[in-house]
Amino acid sequence: MFSYPEFVDGKKVLSEKSSDMLMDIAVYQINKGESRTFLSDTMETAVLLVSGAVTFGWNGETASVSRSGLFTEGPSVLHVSKNVQITVTADTDSEILVQQTDNDADFTAKLYRPEDCVYSTSCEGKWENTAVRDVVTVFDYEIAPYSNMVLGEVYARQGRWWSYTPHWHPQPEVYYYKFDRPEGFGACFIGETAYTVKDGSAGCFTGGNTHAQVTAPGYPMYNVWMIRHLPGDPWKKTRIVDERFAWLDEE
């Protein structure tokens, strides 16, 4: 449910489609000048630039994107259907995240740049601002109803809780955590169990498991959040709060 995966030959696996997460998710380190190619005849694919500068290639098109800071620049994501090949060429040493899941639908490929994403701030003014977080939605059911996935980011301010109050939803979700300093840390609570969040760690939340996070003072936390829609039950901002904490949302 919570893991500390390592890179092996430039690839770090966060989850596999054969698991309860229903998604193949991996992070890749690509050295300047190197390329990675992604193609599936059964799965849709989203490639998110975590850091660096890359050139995407797909369907005879190319686009260059860059990101010098997780907390200062929004995400760029290329999202394609099955049978569409993506080539990612690193213009500098770069890190990318690749999210895939089964999807029979054919849809038009879309490149989301930072200005195409939806930005919001949650819990501002509540609980003495101890749970303020900044949320970026790249695509969800409202934006891309043809997709079986949801993809976004969270920028958790130092010393704050987020994904609070403890809640759950039937759809599986995966988190990928980063800090701007290697010693950065926080905590993730899955049900009644606490895990130490470190740079590069991952949380996998099966349906029905409550989850909440907190990050240490001095260490803002970056997170990629990814949800898999269930057949006939897509995630539509679904949020079922642990009844013990429901009173907090009523204040």
DSSP per-residue codes, 130-166: TT-EEEEEEE-TTT-TT-SEEEEEEEEPTT-EEEEEE
Per-domain residue ranges of the chain: 8-238
The first and second tokens of residue 149, run together, are 């996935």
Separation of alpha carbons 136 and 228, rounded Å? 17
Separation of alpha carbons 210 and 228, rounded Å? 16
CA dihedral 204, 220, 148, 105 (to 10 degrees): -130
Q: Residues 8-238: name the CATH superfamily.
A: Jelly Rolls (2.60.120.10)
The first and second tokens of residue 212, run together, are 């909440």
pLDDT at 157: 95
pLDDT (tens digit, 0 to 9) for every residue of the chain, 251 residues total?
899 999 999 999 999 999 999 999 999 999 999 999 999 999 999 999 999 999 999 999 999 999 999 989 999 999 999 999 999 999 999 999 999 999 999 999 999 999 999 999 999 999 999 999 999 999 999 999 999 999 999 999 999 999 999 999 999 999 999 999 999 999 999 999 999 999 999 999 998 889 999 999 999 999 999 999 999 999 999 999 999 999 998 86
Q: Considering the entire predicted model, what is its pTM?
A: 0.96
pLDDT at 249: 85
**Contact between 187 and 164 (Cβ < 8 Å):** no
**Contact between 162 and 213 (Cβ < 8 Å):** yes
